[in-house]
Amino acid sequence: MTLERVLQQTARVFNLHGIEDSHLEARILLGHILKLSPAQLYTQPERTLSQEKIESLQQLIERRLCQEPTAYIVKHKEFYGVDFYVDPRVLIPRPETELLVEKSFEFAKNRTNCLSSLKKPFLIADVGTGCGAIAISLALNLPQIKVYATDISPSALEVARLNCEYHNVMEQITFIQGNLLEPVPEPVDLIVANLAYIKSSELADLSPEITNFEPIVAIDGGRNGLDLIQQLLEQAEEKIHSRGCLLLEIGQNQGKAMVSLINHCLPKARFELIPDLSGIKRVVKIDF
């Protein structure tokens, strides 16, 4: 059977079972089995697959039909142009979080220009680092920074260290197990956090791909969805330098509640809510 036909059949099966982006998912699984890039898949449509490869693909298709996320099946996910190893110990990085990285870059680049004359390192705390996607993306693009990457889950930190070693940024990143900012040993210039922000009561409404496979600790934001974010805000002043910045991701329709929370926890801070390309207030920027 040719590669083109296998792709068409796999996409058809996915489509019949209500899996979105069926052609893309089919290409990802087939590329994984054959160790081919997307470009190679396009340029080799008449390539013949062995029975062994077809059987291997069928096993992955069955896992996907049981709603296991594709990223966990192939054990990697691209984020901000970088490939990361992922498995069920960590949340799968989402495209919307790339806005958080972009805003972190903007602030860090402006501040590092000022700090370079003082010969001071630019310190970042990546809170709830998960697979390390944010910390590593920043370290790869800003070699002058130092990052404290924290997570309450020791198993998540194992994954983050694997990614850190693979991308050769171990000298820039220190991983610390603990609750939010508590383990960070000194004040930093930038705090960046993508914490759980889904209301506990809304977890049942999420897709089985999320609730059956991804770590609940990385999803459940408590009664109002902002429990962890409130804890972070209450810890922030002791862990950030003057003229520092806190950047965090929030969910859709949480802007109003976030404003009230900031006014309560950090009444003197200046802040703004930054929309993503869809117009959703996605990132909160708080200046100290």
CATH for the 95-287 domain, from 3.40.720.10, 3.40.50.150, 3.20.80.10, 2.60.120.310: 3.40.50.150
Judge whether residue 113 has pLDDT over 80.
no
**Residue 116 confidence (pLDDT):** 54
Specify the range with the lowest mean pLDDT, choosing from 37-41, 65-69, 211-215, 280-284.
Answer: 37-41
Q: What is the mean pLDDT of residues 215-227?
A: 96
The answer to whether the predicted template modeling score (pTM) of the entire model surpasses 0.75 is: yes
Structural domain boundaries of the chain? 3-66, 95-287
Residue that is written with structure tokens 């990085």 in the block: 93
Q: What is the mean pLDDT of residues 84-104?
A: 97
Dihedrals phi, psi of 117, to nearest 5 degrees: -70, -25
Tell me the residue ranges of DSSP E strands in the chain: 76-79, 82-85, 122-127, 145-151, 173-177, 188-193, 240-249, 270-275, 281-287
Judge whether residue 114 has pLDDT over 60.
no
**Residue 109 confidence (pLDDT):** 85
User: What per-residue string of b and e applies to 236-256 under the rule 16 or more CB within 10 Å gives b?
Assistant: beebbeeebbbbbbbbeebee
**Residue 75 confidence (pLDDT):** 98
Residue 120 — very low, low, confident or very high, per pLDDT cuts 50/70/90?
Answer: confident
